[in-house]
């Protein structure tokens, strides 16, 4: 099986998405110990918190792990310094231009993956020197591309556009969807929502329960004028819809969003006023498992689905 395992020293070509407020060291270490690439989501962490999380992760696993670094983070320079000092093996950048930092990471021996939502940005990431790209389709939770390109359309285009490995994301939560991504040419998958509803995730229990209760059509991509984000339906999402209906300006939308809504919803468990970021695939999740169970089940399903298709 051609995949990213060799490149990043993994047992399985499964990357855990770096979801703010949900992916601390416990989840990252559990995924890495189970053979995937665990990721600490640094977007919700102040620099001293990030350093502490990295150290705890290093103490809990001797396998490779990653830090997700949203490049729009206000103290990105501090985070980069910590990542280098702590010798983090893999960095996954998102929401910005990796070219500005690629040389810094690569000269420190740190592997670099960038998250893209189009072939155009995949090519730019390759030119910048990234080792791989995560190509994330419209189905994905959290921050998302404006073009609404679905995973089914995005992955083959990105695979044809670049020579570096492509890790598919958006709508992938099990072995069947992983196999579909491989059929499209991906060499690995990234799963986010599946690992939100995971025992080791730092998401609030109420959010985990809401994720496994979600049904088809319960998420929507919104706030494109500010930063596109896929949210689970709740009273806050209704308020956003109403604001659009009433012709809200960008400033009014920003004021409605305010500050710290994601923390309120996903970390503190406020299911009314909080922002609940999750992917469409939440409709397919109905249980909270450990990271090891998720990875083991995914690989069994992947092989079973492959055998069925080969008959």
Binding site for ligand NDP (CB under 6 A): 20, 43-46, 70, 72-75, 94-95, 142-143, 259-263, 277
Using Cβ positions, the residue closest to ligand NDP within the complex turns out to be 43
CB of 136 to ligand NDP, least distance (A): 9
SS3 call for 237: helix
Calculate the alpha carbon distances from 273 to 23, 87, 261 in Å: 21, 38, 7
The enclosing H or E element of 230 equals: strand 229-232
Q: Residues near 71 by Cβ (< 8 Å), separated by ≥ 6?
A: 93, 94, 95, 96, 97, 98, 100, 101
Instruction: Closer to ligand NDP by CB, 74 or 247: give it.
Output: 74
- How much helix, strand and coil, in percent to the nearest 5, is found in the chain? 45, 15, 40
8 Å CB contact between 212 and 203: no
Q: Say how far apart CA 261 and CA 275 lie, in whole Å.
A: 5
Instruction: Closer to ligand NDP by CB, 61 or 93: give it.
Output: 93
Q: Say how far apart CA 95 and CA 251 lie, in whole Å.
A: 21
CB of 77 to ligand NDP, least distance (A): 11
Q: Say how far apart CA 28 and CA 37 lie, in whole Å.
A: 8
CB of 230 to ligand NDP, least distance (A): 9
E strands along 32-157, which residues?
A: 38-41, 65-70, 90-94, 111-116, 132-136, 142-143
CB of 264 to ligand NDP, least distance (A): 8
Instruction: Closer to ligand NDP by CB, 10 or 115: give it.
Output: 115
CB of 223 to ligand NDP, least distance (A): 10
Instruction: Closer to ligand NDP by CB, 85 or 160: give it.
Output: 85
Instruction: Closer to ligand NDP by CB, 39 or 298: give it.
Output: 39
Instruction: Closer to ligand NDP by CB, 248 or 305: give it.
Output: 248
CB of 254 to ligand NDP, least distance (A): 10
């Amino acid at each position: 099986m051609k995949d990213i395992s060799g490149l990043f020293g993994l047992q399985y070509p499964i990357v855990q998405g770096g979801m703010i407020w949900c992916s601390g060291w416990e989840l990252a270490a559990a995924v890495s110990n189970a053979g995937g690439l665990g990721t600490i989501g640094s977007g919700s962490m102040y620099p001293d918190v990030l350093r502490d999380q990295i150290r705890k992760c290093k103490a809990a696993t001797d396998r490779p792990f990653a830090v997700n670094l949203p490049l729009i983070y206000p103290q990105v320079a501090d985070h980069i310094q910590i990542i280098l000092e702590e010798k983090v093996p893999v960095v996954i950048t998102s929401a910005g231009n990796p070219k500005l930092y690629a040389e810094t990471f690569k000269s420190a021996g740190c592997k670099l993956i960038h998250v893209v939502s189009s072939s155009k940005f995949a090519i730019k990431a390759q030119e910048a020197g990234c080792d791989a790209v995560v190509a994330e389709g419209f189905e994905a939770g959290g921050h998302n591309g404006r073009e609404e390109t679905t995973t089914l359309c995005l992955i083959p285009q990105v695979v044809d556009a670049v020579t570096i490995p492509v890790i598919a994301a958006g709508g992938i939560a099990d072995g069947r969807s992983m196999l579909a991504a491989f059929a499209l040419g991906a060499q690995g998958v990234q799963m986010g929502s599946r690992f939100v509803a995971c025992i080791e995730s730092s998401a609030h229990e109420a959010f985990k329960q809401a994720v496994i209760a979600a049904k088809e059509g319960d998420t929507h991509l919104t706030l494109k004028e500010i930063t596109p984000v896929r949210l689970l339906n709740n009273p806050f999402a209704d308020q956003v819809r109403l604001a659009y209906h009433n012709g809200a300006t960008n400033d009014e939308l920003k004021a409605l969003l305010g500050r710290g809504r994601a923390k309120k919803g996903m970390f503190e468990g406020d299911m009314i006023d909080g922002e609940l970021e999750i992917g469409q695939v939440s409709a397919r999740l109905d249980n909270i498992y450990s990271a090891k169970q998720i990875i083991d089940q995914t690989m069994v399903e992947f092989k079973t689905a492959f055998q069925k298709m080969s008959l």
